[in-house]
Chains A and B, each alone.
Chain A
Amino acid sequence: MPEGFKQARWKEPLLNEISRPGRVGMLPPSDPEIAKEFPEPGSLVPARMRRASVELPELSELQVLRHFNRLSQMNFSVELGMYPLGSCTMKYNPKVSEMIASSDAMKQAHPLQPPETVQGLLSILYELERMLSEITGMSRFALCTAAGAQGEFAGVLMIRKYLMEHGGSERDEILVPDSAHGTNPASAAMAGFRVVKVPSDSSGQVRARAVQELVSEKTAGMMFTVPNTLGLFESEVLDVSKAVHAAGGLMYYDGANMNALLGKARPGDMGFDVVHLNLHKTFATPHGGGGPGAGPVGANDKLSPYLPVPLIADNGGKYSLDYDQERSIGQLKGFVGNSAVLLRAYAYIRLLGASGLADVSSLAVLAANYLWRRLDPNAFPVSHGEGLRRKHEAVVSVKGELPGGAMKVAKALLDRGVHSPTVYFPLIVSEALMIEPTESEPMELLDEYADAMNKIYMSLKDGTLGDPPVETSVGRVDEVKASRPLTLKVHW
């Protein structure tokens, strides 16, 4: 972490502020012969639907490039520095995956073209489907879901449909631990379930006893994140699964934190019936500033007939898209899925291989525990599970009633040219900082990050921290004013 970080500060105007009539950044082709045949192409649109003009900016190609390149310089990223945003698994995204995904054979493939004409890609997707099934201990995966939350939605819909077909349609409750990501309760509610909150105990884990008390003939299932958002392995997972199954419910595995378990343990062996994975986390596809991702969903024999379609089918070495699954919950996204993301994940798995994947989890867990132990426990105590090892991430509090607390620590880290941990999550921890360094960071950077946090705490405590950040492209942003008045666009 070099001293003297300064983020680019371009004060870049909005596009409409630099627009000037008479300029254009790109001209589409036009065939003179065809143009001769249709001298007034606009008149091919019925008059009452014809548009006089579109009010868009008028800029040269270089102006557009400068604008977006400057904006990019005001955006922190994994390739610029450490980005230990907890629960997001901001690991390095191999360049070779970008190269592979940028070939015409990938980019120019249309999802409706006959499967016989895309056998190369389909064979890769099929192989990926088998790999993900093996990694999680599931029977089959659907690759079509676009992100983790969509995978969750698919998973709870599968549970719902299974129960409806097996005399359980009155089961309308899904158990969700209080430490879960917000997407879990939101997905369950979208699928029409009532959410029953399962409290974590003082060690930050869900106890089978607590689950037993909550399950009933109304229980449809439970969504469970292992390791949980505190970075702790749920040591009673087997008994939790048993309790839910005994009550007639099904188990959903939120794979957001799978980076801790590759080759170590599989959700299928923990009693889970359905699983989603976030390929943009564990399998190193880029996060794109918020997306795209991919959230394939896998299931055991019991639930795989309900997987969303299309599935990739192998008919003796000939691959096709299978939409004809009688009991499927249906389709959740147009077409095949985020294929270009899936391709990148496939490349990542091939680069690591079986033992490499296990090494990924070993080193991710080692890094999280190491960084956590390098933090001053008097500054950053843990609220749950003091004596327990962490898995892929650690959650600490900021000690004392210090003004600003976790948010101030986060903003001060930005001034040192690194990204902050996730703040104020999970909700069961006050002044939470959730740190997930991943296996990508060299040990020396983990040291520097811990040192920086420890120093920042001392400054916060003795009141000399000031009002960070000041080295970023803008100072502290007024997020309250952003909603009042609300400005979601500008007019051209």
Chain B
Amino acid sequence: MSGESSHHPLLPNLDAAIVAEMLSALGAKSVDELFSDIPQEVRLKRKLKVPDAATEYSVRRDIQERLSANRTPPGSLCFLGGGVWPHYVPAAVESIMSRQEFYTSYTPYQAEISQGMLQALFEYQSLMCDLLGMQACNSSLYDWASAAGEAVRMAARVTGRKRALIAGNVGPQRQRVIKTYAEPAGIELATVGFDTKSGKVDESDLRARMSDDVACLYFENPNYFGIIEDDADEVASTVHASGGLAIAGVDPISLSLIKGPGAYGADIAVGEGQPLGIPMNYGGPHLGVFAVKDMALARSMPGRLIGMTTTIHEPNDRAFAMVLQAREQHIRREAATSNVCTNQSLMAVGAASYLSLLGKEGMRRLGETVVSNSHYAAGRLSRVRGVRYPLFTGAFFKEFTVSYDEANAQAVFERLARSGVLGGYPLDGRFGLGDRCASFCVTEVHTRADIERLAAALQEAVDGA
């Protein structure tokens, strides 16, 4: 023992008498003796250079004081999107996700004592399948980007092909992560251009690039510009015509009004489950959605799956268990479909509770509010001097892009932030649209007054930039 302290709330056996009793029971003279098998050369013979222990109160106060420097809602307004979106988290979802029975448990390896988590995850799978129009959904991956990376790898595995196409209007975060996931599998990536007028996938470029060695196309709907890919049917058909898989990345909130990927022929659907009751959390934890169109593909998919079964004995009660585990790393090791182990189960429970709270009617109304608010805001921003809207002609759902006549998008973005409005994220140079384009996201959390405040702040920012 360090001997520096006694009594710590997290350490019930930190007491000389208890330690002595335990040591004597196992025949050791000192705690140090228990570490005597560590060679002296590698023993750390000094104290770690981290701060000394602090009490709960001090730690809480210090962290809270430092966090209070963050500029976030409700003090600031957030009109940022790009794969993490500001949506309202219902109080009941927070309450359910705060149940220690859920959050202090682990993977339900012992099914009989973990039925709650198993059933909740099964319900998540069912709800997501319906929303997406797919046949099988796993119980979560880390986030949208890594799910997209896994999807491209799976497509290469299933088709035996080593080329993958990525739509050029896919979010930069996903583009980067897909690259990291695909490259070590020997998958060669190519970009399908987008139509600079509509903002949608350029179908003639897609046709030109499709061939019978292409494993898949990954595209997003709505895409990074917020535009709805209303030719998704044709896009998927073109990919299928050459024997490739169509992978769609989606925002689940948009599926309140927009057809699910299953309805336009996607073979794999991925997405970000964060807007389903998960806070933005400065990047995570979020919820990687991963679903496939049929049971044959389900057997090749990554991640944990929960199935419905019964008890062995009479009266054969309904029960739930992990299934198809032979795909997973703890059984299959180097031949597994993925290395994923720890996932985002708690977030999946949150999403399941969110979808059951809003339900059929709530989701419809939510979609209507979101699409109305975003269009209202776009109209309002189009009247800001020096702002040009629309940048693209395609229909949009909750995100839209604008260009500035003269102002630099990065400068506007920073000026807006200084006035307490987070939004107008500059479009990445990779889109080839110059440095005067920016994206805004508007959802149900934004009031008319918020939109007015955004418009006024944007006017000032554009004038001053």
Residues in A with CB closer than 8 Å to B49 are 134, 354
Q: Is the CB of A490 within 8 A of B308?
A: yes
Number of A-B contacts (CB under 8 A): 754
Q: Can you give 20 A-B contacts (C-beta < 8 A)?
A: A29-B88, A34-B373, A46-B228, A54-B131, A59-B359, A65-B92, A70-B116, A94-B10, A100-B60, A110-B86, A238-B42, A332-B181, A333-B284, A340-B284, A351-B53, A351-B59, A370-B25, A479-B321, A482-B322, A486-B324
Residues in A with CB closer than 8 Å to B434 are none
State in angstroms the CA–CA spacing of A113 and B333 once bound together.
40
Q: Is the CB of B180 within 8 A of A28?
A: no
Interface residue? B16 (CB, 8 A): no
Interface size in chain A (residues, C-beta < 8 A): 209
State in angstroms the CA–CA spacing of A5 and B375 once bound together.
57
Interface residue? B255 (CB, 8 A): yes
Interface residue? A359 (CB, 8 A): yes
State in angstroms the CA–CA spacing of A192 and B336 once bound together.
13
State in angstroms the CA–CA spacing of A474 and B70 once bound together.
47
Q: Is the CB of B311 within 8 A of A476?
A: yes
Q: Is the CB of B26 within 8 A of A264?
A: no
Q: Which B residues from 116 to 171 make CB contacts under 8 A with A? A: 116-117, 119-123, 125-127, 129-131, 135-137, 139-140, 142-146, 149, 153
Checking B102, B447, B448 against A77 with a beta-carbon cut-off of 8 angstroms, the contacting residue is B102
State in angstroms the CA–CA spacing of A332 and B176 once bound together.
8
Residue-wise interface mask of A (451-492) relative to B, using a CB-CB cutoff of 8 A (1 in contact, 0 not): 000000000000000010100111111110111001111111
Checking B64, B143, B363 against A56 with a beta-carbon cut-off of 8 angstroms, the contacting residue is B363
State in angstroms the CA–CA spacing of A103 and B65 once bound together.
11
Residues in B with CB closer than 8 Å to A388 are 37
State in angstroms the CA–CA spacing of A448 and B98 once bound together.
30
Residue among A29, A46, A289, A439 facing the most chain B CB atoms (10 A cut-off): A289
Interface residue? A162 (CB, 8 A): no
Interface residue? B208 (CB, 8 A): no
Residues in B with CB closer than 8 Å to A320 are none
Q: Is the CB of B359 within 8 A of A476?
A: no
Given known contacts A191-B184, A475-B313, A51 and B259 CB-to-CB distance under 8 angstroms: yes
Q: CB-nearest residue of chain A relative to B107?
A: A290
Checking A93, A113, A330, A474 against B176 with a beta-carbon cut-off of 8 angstroms, the contacting residue is A330
Interface residue? A141 (CB, 8 A): no
Residue-wise interface mask of A (44-82) relative to B, using a CB-CB cutoff of 8 A (1 in contact, 0 not): 111011110111111101001101111111111111100
Residue-wise interface mask of A (91-123) relative to B, using a CB-CB cutoff of 8 A (1 in contact, 0 not): 011101011101111111111111011111101
Residue-wise interface mask of A (10-28) relative to B, using a CB-CB cutoff of 8 A (1 in contact, 0 not): 0110111001010111111
Interface residue? A343 (CB, 8 A): yes
Q: CB-nearest residue of chain B relative to A441?
A: B12
Q: Is the CB of B173 within 8 A of A331?
A: yes
Given known contacts A108-B78, A333-B143, A30 and B67 CB-to-CB distance under 8 angstroms: no
Q: Is the CB of B80 within 8 A of A233?
A: no
Q: Is the CB of A288 within 8 A of B344?
A: yes
Q: Is the CB of B319 within 8 A of A474?
A: yes
Checking B62, B186, B346, B376 against A289 with a beta-carbon cut-off of 8 angstroms, the contacting residue is B346
